[in-house]
Amino acid sequence: MANSIQPKTSLVSVVIPTRNSAATIADCLKSVMSQSHRPIEIIVVDNYSTDSTVEIAKRNGALVMLRSGGRSAQKNWGAKFAKGEYLYFVDSDLILGPDVISRCLAAIEGVDGVLVRTLDVNRGSRAARLIASRKRILSYDEMNVAVRFVRKEAFDRLGGFDPDIYVGMDTDFHRRFLLKGFRVRYSSATEWHLGSPLTVRGWLKRNLYYAPSLLKSTSKHPLYSLSRINPLHTVSAWKKSDAHGSDLILVVFLGFLSNISLALAGLLIHRSREVPVRHAHASRQIEAE
């Protein structure tokens, strides 16, 4: 599937889905434009933003396309028109070090995709540091990482991201990537995430917002999803990481809170869908009487 020798001048297509990303897209694009590797093309696929995202993207040299349907559909759309031999899917709230792409290209020799660690920018608060520590630990857990730098040929053969999922699409893609027999390797590259919540309340609120799609992706692979939330995986990943030992118990507790919030959200969603059906059934009974 993979070639053993990669030309140093290979074109890399960076695909960035956006939706009202004006607060972070400029920094993201500047970090992409600062890559030591050339050539690259930057494709921003925007979901009809109502802020200045599109204008900022154009000013920073990106090719901008419009596409609705969620981030999976946006990524697939960008990949469809990408000209590069390699695809790199970057979120609009990430900042890349100047050698991320060159490190990915070095790592992809002999395989079909590489993993890039995503770490949180230190935002100061205790909660933010704990959330960042959790992300750092999970970046060492093979069941909680996702390949986003891939050969375009492999991406096309797999059929891209599942358009019915707008949260968890990366891990779903990663699982299908491996099941198809494509090979993956860690790179030494790191991305920095700007968009994590500053408080535990904000983090839980975000989980609840994304719960419907998370539950959908979970139902697609129930056994795999249950394995991912096993706290023993967190402990094993912590042993491989350089995260503070004092954070481990709190990080495991954060995972527990996340799972509880998703379960409650699932229950509420299920009940809200049942109520109209019961009312309609009761109405038919009254009419029949």
Q: State residue 282's pLDDT score.
A: 44
Q: How far is CA 272 from CA 16, 40, 214, in A?
A: 34, 47, 17
**Does residue 275 surpass a pLDDT of 70?**
no
Q: Is 76 exposed, middle or buried (0-12, 13-18, 19+ CB in 10 A)?
A: buried
Indicate whether 130 pLDDT > 70. yes
- Beta bridge partners, 46, equal 18, 66
Task: Classify residue 258 by burial, with Cβ atoms within 10 Å: 0-12, 13-18, 19+.
Answer: middle
230 — pLDDT class (breaks 50, 70, 90):
confident
Whether residue 105 has pLDDT greater than 60: yes
pLDDT band at 8 (very low <50, low <70, confident <90, very high): low
Res 246: pLDDT: 80
Question: In percent, how much of the chain has pLDDT > 90?
Answer: 51
CB 181 within 8 A of CB 111: no
- Lowest-confidence pick of 7-16, 79-88, 153-162, 280-289: 280-289
* pLDDT over 80 (residue 19): yes
pTM of the model: 0.80
pLDDT in tens, 194-219: 866 667 677 667 666 666 666 666 66
> Tens digits of per-residue pLDDT, 139-171?
888 878 999 999 999 999 999 999 988 778 898
More confident residue, 144 or 124: 144
pLDDT at 288: 41
Handedness of CA 223, 225, 231, 236 (dihedral sign): positive
